[in-house]
Every structure is written in C-alpha cells, then in structure tokens.
Amino acid sequence: MDTQQRYLNWLNEPTLSKEEKDILKNLSSSEIEEAFYQDLSFGTGGIRGVLGLGTNRMNIYIIRKATFGFGRYLLKHNLLEGVAIAYDNRHMSYEFAKEAAKVLAALGIKSYVYKNLRPTPMLSFTVRHLNLSAGIMITASHNPKEYNGYKVYNKTGSQLSIDESNEVIEYINQVENPFEIKTLDNELIHYLNDEIDDIYLKEVISIAVHKDIKKDINIVYSPLHGTGGTLAPKLLKGSGYNVYPVESQMIPDPNFSATESSNPEEKQSFNASIELAKKVNADIILVTDPDADRLGVGVLHEGTYHLLTGNQTAALMLYYILSEQKTPDGFVYTTVVTSELIKKIGESFHKNIGETLTGFKFIGEQAERISKTNYTYLFGCEESYGSLVKDFVRDKDAIQAVYLLAEIANTLKSRNLTMVDYLNLIYEKYGYYVDETISISLKGIEGQQRIKKIMNYFRTRGLHINQFNVTNTIDYIKGKMNPHDIYLPPSDVIRFESDKGFIIFRPSGTEPKLKIYFSIKENTKELARNTIDILKQEVFNIIEEI
C-alpha cells in the first residue's frame, strides 16, 4: 500500500473524530509523506516515534495495534498472570498506558496500571515482584519532547528477547485495521499507587558497600521533569544525604520547559543543576533522564564541575564494587561499544566478562541466564549512561546508580578524594582510555537512506586512516558467538580495531541518528584526547565524501 492510500484510508475512517480529520486535512504533502510512508515498526526494543496522526506516528491507534498483537501473543502462550503498565511524563503517556490496559481488558487479560508516573526500572521490578507475565512501559527515554514510545517486558522483567519480539511482530502485522480493535474499561484493570515503592527502595538500599560511613556531602539532583523525582530524593534524604533538588525541574512536564535538554548525555541538560550546585557548594550533581534509567554525573573538582561520561561513571562504579569488598565468582557485563576499560577492570579482579550487543535487554537476558547457574551477576553497563548494579531489576536502573554514586562520592570525600581523583587513579593503573560517541542526526526518509549509504560504504570499503592502522574488522550483520556462549544476533554494526582501540559505526535503533564510537588508549590522557580529535576529523572527512 502506498503513502497516499494509507493517508486516504485514515482520512475516510468513520471512527476518527472531526478534529482528527481536520488535522489530517491540514497536513502538507511533505508532512503526509513523513506520517504515512511506512508503518511505525515494532522493533526488538518496542516502538519509538514522533507523536501525531498517521501510520508512522505515535498515537492511540498504533498503541492499540501493538497491544492487541502483544495480547494475542500472551494468550497463545497462556501468559495470563497480568501485565504491569507504567509511564513517564511525556505527552499522551497516561492516555497510551490506559489505552493499552483497555485493549488487554477486551482480550480478557488483567493489567496493573500505575496511577502516577514511575521509572522504567520500577516497571521491571513490579513485573518481578508481583510475579506477572509481562510489562509495558510508555516512554521515549531521553528523546526530545516530540517523541513517545512503547517498550515491552517479559515475565523475567527484561525486555522481550529477539525471538519473543519477532513473534509479537507477526501478530501485530496480522492486524489489518487498527480502528476495529475493541477496548474495555472494566474490573480487569487494577491501579497501583505507591505500595511497591518502599519495597523497591529497600532493595536499592541493599546495594550499599559501606553502610555506616557518616554522610558528609551535598548533592544536587534533577529528574529533568521526569519520573526520577518520584523516588530519588526520597531515597537520598532517607539515607541521610543533604539533597538539593532543582525545583523547577522536579515538576512533571511533557514540554521540558525548564531544561535545555532531556538527555543527560548532553551538557546543556546540566545548566540549571550547575547553577544551583555553585550556590549550595554541592560535591556532586546527579541528573536522571525522563524515565530514570540513565544517569548523568557532575563532580566538583578543584573548584570546577566536571561532567563524567557514561564510560567513566561505569568504570569508577565497577572498580569501587570490586575493590571495596569481597565479591563472589561472577560476571561483569558490557557491550560491544562500551569502553575496553570495563573489561580490563573486571579481568584484573578475575571476573568473567560477558559482552553483548548494544541495548540493555541483552544484559537483562544474561542476568536471567546466569541466575540459573552458580555464578553471580556483579555489574552491567553500557556507554550511554546506563548501568545495573544488582539484578532485582532487569533493565538499566538510574535509581540504583544514584544511590551507589552518592555512596562513592561520600566515601571518597572521607579520604580527601573526588571522583575525578579516583578516575585518575584508575587510569594510572590500567592506562588512559578516552572514549567519545558522536551522533549524526539524519531525520526522515532522506536521513534513513543516507545512513544506509554510509554504512554500506564502510562495510564494503573498510576504514582507511593513517593514524589508525586497522588490525581487525568485525561486522555483526550476520551475528556472532562471543565468549561464554553469548550469541550476538545479527545487527547493523561494524567495528574496526587497532592496537590503539576501536572505531565503531552503528545506526541508532531508537533515534534517526548514525552513532560513531571512538575508544583510544594511550600513555597519557592528553595524547589519547588528541588522537581521538584527529580520528574524528578524518572520519568526518570520509563521510562528507560519501
């Protein structure tokens, strides 16, 4: 079916309201093309897209279609213990959550819907704690305000496996007319308030390494208008920390009115937090993304606030966990695009290293897998500001990260050190690793085609840069078996390795971006930084010529 036919089908749909049809009639030809040129696809991580009417937009009809397909999957496998549903602060999040519950109710499936917004890790925990069959999280994570999304979880609290996702996709694709899907608002829809909050927070508190050190730090915290505000301040204050919330960003707001970015990977998301931190002389700044699965960190060091990368935060968390306590035999999990420093730290403490594809669902799967063995899950992380300290949650968990990093900062202060000092000690021990991720935004149809062209170029011609002698190329497009029997399914990722580190090309699975990862180890931080700057320019020069 072509774009125009999809558009006309919606325009002539009798169940659409007059207001909806007026919106459709006022779309420009280019807007019609973008909204209807394809069906917004349910991938291995669910759905994420721009809000609006159309087959390529996030709206209640797409939510109904996805939930109906997911519900049929649950019925087929007799997974009928109920579905937990949570949501973030975005436009339409509650409406989408309620719509999903009503579709499930019409199929005879129970749901447990949070009355107020809750973090993604809380959704994962709720599935596990209530022994439910599945979970649905309405969120677009750290994407801009125009987006929303729909993530699906299995009974382990992890996002659906690829096999599970593929089966759900088959059911979704069988839906010919989303406007015919029935919904019911009945007794099968149950509501959750805060009854699970303290149970979850008790588990979070259990990750502490040093429980009795006096709390002597000031913390500035921001949820960037999102879900972290429901739990993080309560957790920190209840543990004795001095917490200064960025009040203007504590208010749930789908427009993110008081922040310049909803993504803690971007420096501008810290502007208000740094301003407050200077006033209260904060030792650290902790900023969670809207659904509180990612965490950004700022550290006061020699009078200046230094923002840590996701790789740096993960490295110091892992080193602290392994060096400050005796740990059992177990696994540290990382991803193919995460700094090699994580591997080196884990190996130095004689731990097993499990390496997965990008996406925390794969680490969640491994956590479930080793829970059935004699090994222990010790830590998992990815470069994009996500980590999981303990696996009572099966997705990345910024609430756990907030708690552990507060402890780390407090412990280090008692030793007259900052996290920057601590990182330098780690670098002196393992080598100076500098990592940087660049995202090239390429939106729309033309953007997709451009990304494909760039990936095809490097896949067929390789990477040729004088300062980076490629010694090994790994193309994950056909899948790969990693150590410890970890199968990496086919993925559009190309990794070029040299004796200095790696350069990786990967289209984002959730945003219209091409991501390029640089990881370099040198004898000094300055030399590693300079090498990356040179490599970035060389890669940009190649891409401009493609």
- Domain ranges in the chain? 38-194, 200-429, 432-545
- Contact present, 479 and 356 (Cβ < 8 Å): no
Q: Hey, is 527 helix, strand or coil? A: helix
- Contact present, 125 and 131 (Cβ < 8 Å): no
The closest alpha carbon to 542, from 434, 447, 455, 471, belongs to: 455
Per-residue model confidence (pLDDT) at position 45: 76
Q: Which two tokens stand for residue 366?
A: 């491994």
- Contact present, 233 and 402 (Cβ < 8 Å): no
Query: How far apart, in Å, do the first and last CA atoms of the chain sit?
Result: 32
Q: Hey, is 499 helix, strand or coil? A: coil
432-545 shares the fold of 200-429: no
CATH number of this structure's domain 432-545, picked from the four choices 3.20.20.450, 3.40.50.300, 3.30.1310.10, 3.30.310.50: 3.30.310.50
Residue 312 CB neighbour total at 10 angstroms: 25
The closest alpha carbon to 47, from 26, 30, 69, belongs to: 69
Q: Hey, is 235 helix, strand or coil? A: helix
**Catalytic entry in 111, 124, 141, 519:** 141
User: Does domain 200-429 correspond to CATH entry 3.40.120.10?
Assistant: yes
Give the C-alpha separation, 146 to 166, whole Å: 27
Per-residue model confidence (pLDDT) at position 445: 83
* pLDDT tens, residue by residue, 163-197: 999 999 999 999 999 999 999 999 999 999 999 99
Give the C-alpha separation, 57 to 303, whole Å: 46
- Contact present, 317 and 405 (Cβ < 8 Å): yes
* 33 burial level (CB within 10 Å; 0-12, 13-18, 19+): middle
Residue 503 CB neighbour total at 10 angstroms: 25
Indicate the helix (H) or strand (E) that contains 197.
helix 197-205
- Contact present, 204 and 399 (Cβ < 8 Å): yes
Per-residue model confidence (pLDDT) at position 257: 97
Q: Which two tokens stand for residue 297?
A: 């960190």
Give the C-alpha separation, 94 to 136, whole Å: 12
Residue 539 CB neighbour total at 10 angstroms: 19
519 is catalytic: no
Could you tell me the mean pLDDT of each successive run of 10 residues in the chain, 546 residues long?
93 96 96 94 86 97 98 98 98 98 98 98 98 98 94 97 94 95 98 98 97 94 98 97 98 97 96 98 98 98 98 98 97 97 98 96 96 97 97 98 98 98 97 94 88 96 94 96 95 96 91 92 94 96 94
Per-residue model confidence (pLDDT) at position 374: 96
Per-residue model confidence (pLDDT) at position 212: 86
Q: How far is CA 424 from the centre of its chain?
A: 27
What is the full DSSP assignment across 269-280? Answer: GGHHHHHHHHHH
CATH number of this structure's domain 38-194, picked from the four choices 3.10.20.30, 3.40.190.10, 3.90.1300.10, 3.40.120.10: 3.40.120.10
User: 533 to each of 132, 381, 440, 444, 530, how far by Cα in Å?
Assistant: 49, 25, 16, 29, 5
Q: In terms of pTM, does the model score above 0.85?
A: yes
Q: Which two tokens stand for residue 20?
A: 């909806």
Q: At residue 149, what is the residue type?
A: G
